[in-house]
Structure 1
Amino acid sequence: MESIGVGLIGFGLAGSVFHAPLIASVPSLRLVAVATSRAGEVRARCPEAVVEERADRVIERDDVDVVVVANPHPLHFETARRALEAGKHVVVEKPFTMRAREAEELIRLAEARGRLLTVFHNRRWDGDFLTVKRLVTAGELGEVYTYEAHYDRYRPQAADRWQERAGSGGTLFNLGPHLVDQALQLFGRPQWVWADVGVQRGDGAEGNGAAGGAPAGASAGGSAGAPAGALAGAEDYFHIVLGYGRLRAVLHSAYVVPDPGPRFLVHGHRGSFCKYGIDPQEDQLKAGVRPGAAEWGRDRPEMYGRLSVVREDGTVERRVIETKRGCYERFYEGLADALLRGGSPPVDAREARDVIQVLEWAQESSRTGCRMDCVWPDGQDG
């Protein structure tokens, strides 16, 4: 297999802004077909790809080796299952599934069929997160006691899109997977989870709503058959605390934040790191900037984080830390390496399953008001 044929299911934000351009950035990958109702957009942006109206038509194509599942979240499980059963390798946009048991079923199916299964947790390659990871791993902060990660937005009115309707999982399943995955990459599995999940905008009632499955009649091809429901019915706020002994990892997201605070705030016994701003790669992709461009993945110097370290004499040394360069293309480079040379998948599906399990515990914690002790399905503790 000298080149890998890729079929893309869905051409909304995830498919058009992230997956299609990043696939095109890897020479050994070819986008051969897209399932979507947005045929005109595909022809304008990816003229080499055939447009299919149905996901099944892409999955059944002989020239498709890998199926990328980028349709609405509640459809991920069923679409990925059908692709694996058809003998395809599969990439699933986050969130992996809506239930941990669904993720486990896909993992077992992939193993039984001898197919690669991975999940697009692209924000492992955010420049700011890579910077935090380097500082924590290198011991620059000493033992970490408090880790805060925020993903806040200012959208005071719910938009007419499926991600903000009841049944979509709301921001908990849209932005939550990013923050949970990053925390698990840094600190591993937590010992317990506490969460407050709710609806703050419009007519939504305060409290947690369960993320539902795909509604009847939903299409697997893109946003045309996305979940229907009342606007402002989806969760738009969460505050999650993960417990690791004396370490607390605080993960927060809200949609009514006019002036966001730090993106990352990390405190250890030797120092603190504070970083404002968001990784530029999403905005760059929207603007047509691609991997390989001089500015690709580069943070603005005025947004670099500040490291404060306590010296032996008790004084504090403060210095600016240049943000590492972001590199979303590493995901699809890793996918190609895994398929062509037998390398490891860019994201282990079991790690993505753990993210969904934490989100489920967060839902249950918010519903009951209780802290959830983590009992992991494989019997291994956090």
Structure 2
Amino acid sequence: MAPVTNGRVLFNEYLPTGYPIPGKTVVYDTSETIDLENVALNGGFLVKVLVLSIDPYQRNRLKAPSDQRSYGSFELGKPIQNFGVGVVLRSENSAVKAGDHVYGQYDFQQYVIVPELPSRIWRVLENKEQIPWSAYVGVAGMPGQTAYYGWKEYASPQKGEVAFVTTGAGPVGATVIQLAKADGLKVIASAGSDDKVEYMKSIGADVAFNYKTTKTSDVLAKEGPIHVFWDNVGGESFEAAIEHAATGARLLECGMITVYNTNETYTVKNLFQIIGKELHVHGVMVAGPLHEKYVDEFYETIPEKIARGELKYKEHVLHGLDKAGQGLLDVQTGKNFGKCVIVVAEE
């Protein structure tokens, strides 16, 4: 077989502030080819990438390494990376075989040679439940893991308590809403459009509102006090949650998208209440000890819940690797409705 094009999405320039610009911040490149039958694997395995995830945190990887808000910058001139699912074409690694579907953190390109299964983040997916592969980069992947791990470790939910979830129509927030309802909590949830409000209600939120047209503090004053706060936003929402938190409430800080695209920060004015109310504030990260503690439990339970319809999800699907730049922009501006997924190829 003659070499084929191996399209890639390359990181083109650091972006300290502002929104990603498709075709400028990242560029789609077709200059590289790959011989699928003869390329050296050197003990690794060759993957055809099927789906890739676009997530809010990637914005911080578009910043320079010197920026304190960077999560580890992408390398200029090299492919950006994120979680994805691919099918193995050839393998010299005993842990995987041709035909296996592997979840891991891939370069954004059509074909990838993986030298080994480098960590427990990587996983050969059995998918006995036969859910779509795209679900494994959303509700059954990193976003779902983030929600599951953080909720299990830090929420300490008690039936009848009140939870408040920001960005409740996104893949993390929507999963948290459903976990909270399953534990018997009243759920308040916010999002940035009326159609997203209706979606949050459809998956169980008792009170759902558009934060752009309704003041968060007014809703919490009426519907609170809150016992669990899941935050993907920061800023005024964080301040309002502190103001209307019950004594001993748990505040789970997962994201702060209000500051991802700007150098300006919102000064939270009531931090002293953390002391007076004896609040518990936890940062939630999917990697590290929480992953080791919960990953097997997650894969044993969540795909089954999805297959049974007990855990619902919504996707914002873009077809073609060349749409990755648009996906980055959609997620930062809130244009996406549900998990942003790049479908790179069919099997």
**Normalising by the residue count of structure 2, what TM-score does the alignment of the two structures yield?**
0.36
More strand by percentage? 2
More helix by percentage? 1
